[in-house]
Chain A
Amino acid sequence: MTTETTSTRRLRVHRFKRGDDAPHVEEFDVPMGEDATVLEALRWIQLHGDPSLGLRHSCFHASCGTCGVRVNGRERLACVTKLADFSGTITVDPIANLPVLLDVVVDMATFFAHYPDPHPIVRESGFLPEAAVADDLDGHERYEDCIECGLCLSACPVAATDDSYVGPAALAYAQRLLEEPRDGVDRNALLDWADQDAGAWRCHAAFECTEACPSDVRPAQRIMSLRKELRHRRSEQGRKVPEQAAGEEAT
């Protein structure tokens, strides 16, 4: 039988309920084992401290993206962030740049509202004969790493002041759709969507989204790839115009 060392950690948690004049902070002393996570500490507070504490979580293993919070100012998934990684009092806030519904729970509908519309939410996924990895490849790259946790939008300095900016997740999603060789994607419509003032050109290359991403999506790099696509399209359109003119002359 193993005995886990227990220590008491102090958490400062953002508290807010709609109708409150302003948010406030509450401190809780939480007895936790050395491998305990921020989510476990928050759950302890719910069970033994204040049952009105609102938080969102699901899978407990960084797969669903629902437990995103800011821990000591940095975007993290609470379920895999260990208390032992921090010294002293640990501050837990909701992720930034999204409306706060309750305590550390934000309105993800706003996050998803930035996504290109219409976009294929559910797509037919067929078995491809090419699915077997060829000899000269290490493996296939997984495109659907994004767990839509919103940490990238929270970390983005542009989103801090401009709520109209579609954000790194939506742009990375658009780039993935362009990159995937599947049917049902209107490339021009998607590029039109990205090619707006609040789209791909709003990014200032801070790369905070890539740093915050817990799932190796690398949204900043995808935004730069999206810009490349937009430039290629522009140069293609530039070449098409004289050809169209020649076509008109011939008729």
Chain B
Amino acid sequence: MVATAPERSTRSRSWRWTAFTGVSLLALVTIHMVAHHFVVEEIGGLRTYQHVLDYISTPIIFVIEGVFLVVVTVHAMLGLRSVLFDFGLSERWRRRLELGLVTLGIVTVVYGFILIGVLASRA
């Protein structure tokens, strides 16, 4: 019953990264939500097409939104992993799930960067 652990514990890694990305998101989500709902004087604070292009083409904004995309995707994938692991999956299915979530996360980030990259280039 005693588990054999590697020299450095890896099992706490997902919890630590979930907590770290979560804390980071407190700031990043706040920035994102304020920027997109509380700045522009339109209904709901929603930006028009040109507003969006002007916004995303600003270098510092591009970086912040890019970091936000990566952090929120990592947090989402870790959260999904945690929920799905609670179903008591076998070791084989856990590995498959982790591979699937890593793939989904990479696809999400790549698509997101393509999206904001194209929009930034149009400004």
Contacts and interface: CB of A to CB of B under 8 A. Distances in A.
Contacts of A204: 82, 86
A201 interface: yes
A199 B11 contact: yes
Given A116-B1, A162-B86, A189-B2, A237 B12 contact: no
A192 B3 CA distance: 6
A197 B11 contact: yes
Nearest to B91: A197
B87 A196 contact: no
B8 interface: yes
A193 B86 contact: no
B14 A201 contact: yes
By size class, the interface of chain A is: 20 to 34
Contacts of B9: 195, 230, 233-234, 237
Contacts of B8: 234, 237-238, 241
Contact of B11 (A116, A161, A195, A237): A195
Interface in B58-104: 82, 85-88, 94
Contacts of B14: 201
A164 B88 contact: yes
Interface of B: 1-5, 7-9, 11-12, 14-15, 82, 85-88, 94
Interface of A: 116-118, 158, 161-165, 189, 191-193, 195-197, 199, 201-202, 204, 227, 230-231, 233-234, 237-238, 241
